[in-house]
């Protein structure tokens, strides 16, 4: 089975503007698609890759230029320093889950197959999605579905879950799907369940918080003219990245100097972002929500 097909591969690696002797970081190694492409372009340079999922070990290349760290990218700076690296010439993040994580029957990332409600990217993490569904109160659950799934009926979803869990704990994908099936709009069921599952996954893995932590640290590890290259898969994370690249903060509030000039740590390379073309989508439908953003440190 294919581990992963990298999205926007050439556009993103070209966007890194690789120097053959430079030091680069891939904070989301996964199947190693982006990493392998970076390695091809290095001669004396180095690539440090992060991933919190142990399963990616299968994909680690034997290459003296490559260092793998089985760490969460929220600890980017400390881990680089621990390995004697204070600054880098480019960073790539290809966010979200890999095909492997999504398709593994026992990991519970998708409503398409029954499995325990897990959704942890790091299998030694303490909190699975079943735990959130069991312990959070109704309004916290509603917040998750509203914030991370952009579901307008988030309160009703939370209410159905709380009612169902009184009768029987929700421990499997089918338990959850059955609990909320009454709310799934006709002929839009898949879209609805996909959003519910996405919301839970983002909460379980603290995806937005950790993305922000990593981006903040990138400011102090990227050299001048180093590129920050990020591929996002939903509007919430895209907004975080877009605002950060534009202003250096997550609210997107421009700071001006004494003369009224906008102060920003980055020069934006592709203002609107880059999305996959028809050719890519013909071979990789799952890349359809990908958006690539590239910025250069000033
Ligand atoms: C979309 S996949 C990356 C695919 C990769 N670019 C490729 O070409 O195969 C995302 C990967 O990032 C990892 N990941 C997500 N969030 C992470 C985090 N906070 N720290 C470390 N790894 C993370 C996931 O475990 C997953 O393997």
Q: Write out pLDDT tens, residues 156-194.
A: 999 999 999 999 999 999 999 999 999 999 999 999 999
**Pocket mutation for ligand 1, best pick of 2, 27, 29, 120 (most atoms within 8 Å of C-beta):** 29
Rounded-to-integer distance, Cα 214 and Cα 77, Å: 8
Q: Does residue 1 carry a pLDDT above 90?
A: no
3-state secondary structure of 208: helix
Q: Ligand 1, closest atom to CA 206? A: 19
The response to whether residue 4 sits with its C-beta less than 6 Å from ligand 1 reads: yes
* Residue 272 CA: distances (Å) to CA of 27, 126, 168, 246, 298: 23, 38, 47, 11, 19
Cβ atoms within 10 A of the Cβ of 111, count? 20
Specify whether the backbone of 100 is left (phi greater than 0), alpha (psi in -120 to 50) or beta. Answer: alpha
| Alpha-carbon span 20 to 30, nearest angstrom | 23
| Token couple for 27 | 């904070």
Helical packing angle, 173-180 and 189-204, nearest 10°: 130
Dist. CA 28 → ligand 1 center (Å): 3
Mean pLDDT confidence for 277-283: 98
Q: What is the pTM of this model?
A: 0.97
pLDDT-based confidence at residue 243 (cuts at 50, 70, 90): very high
The Cα–Cα gap between 266 and 179 comes to 46
Q: At what angle do helices 154-167 and 138-149 cross, to 10 degrees?
A: 130
Both tokens of 285, joined, read 């439908």
Residue 204: CB within 6 Å of ligand 1?
no
> Is 101 in contact with 91 (CB distance < 8 Å)?
no
Average pLDDT, the chain: 97
Please tell me if the CB atom of residue 35 comes closer than 6 angstroms to any atom of ligand 1. Answer: no
Longest dimension (CA), the chain: 64
pLDDT higher than threshold 90 for residue 119: yes
pLDDT number for residue 26: 98
51 in contact with ligand 1, CB cutoff 6 A: yes
Cα 206 to chain centroid distance, Å, stands at 10
């Amino acid at each position: 089975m294919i581990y992963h097909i990298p999205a926007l591969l050439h556009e993103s690696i070209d966007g890194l503007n690789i120097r053959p002797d430079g030091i680069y970081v891939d904070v989301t190694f996964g199947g190693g698609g982006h990493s392998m492409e970076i390695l091809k372009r290095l001669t004396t340079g180095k690539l440090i890759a992060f991933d919190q999922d142990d399963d990616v070990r299968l994909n680690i290349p034997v290459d003296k230029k490559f260092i793998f760290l089985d760490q969460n990218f929220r600890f980017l700076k400390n881990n680089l320093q621990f390995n004697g690296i204070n600054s880098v010439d480019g960073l790539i993040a290809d966010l979200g889950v890999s095909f492997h994580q999504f398709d593994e029957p026992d990991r519970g990332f998708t409503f398409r197959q029954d499995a325990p409600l897990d959704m942890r990217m790091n299998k030694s993490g303490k909190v699975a999605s079943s735990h959130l569904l069991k312990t959070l109160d109704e309004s916290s659950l509603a917040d998750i579905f509203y914030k991370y799934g952009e579901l307008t009926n988030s309160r009703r979803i939370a209410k159905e879950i709380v009612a169902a869990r009184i009768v029987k704990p929700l421990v499997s994908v089918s338990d959850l799907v059955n609990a909320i099936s009454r709310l799934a709009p006709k002929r839009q069921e898949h879209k609805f369940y996909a959003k519910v599952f996405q919301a839970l996954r983002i909460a379980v893995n603290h995806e937005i918080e950790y993305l922000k932590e990593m981006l903040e640290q990138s400011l102090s590890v990227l050299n001048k003219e180093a590129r920050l290259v990020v591929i996002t898969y939903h509007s919430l994370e895209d907004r975080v990245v877009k605002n950060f690249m534009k202003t250096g903060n997550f609210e997107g509030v421009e700071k001006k100097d004494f003369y009224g000039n906008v102060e920003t740590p980055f020069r934006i390379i592709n203002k609107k972002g880059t999305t996959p073309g028809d050719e890519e989508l013909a071979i990789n439908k799952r890349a359809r929500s990908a958006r690539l953003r590239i910025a250069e440190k000033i």
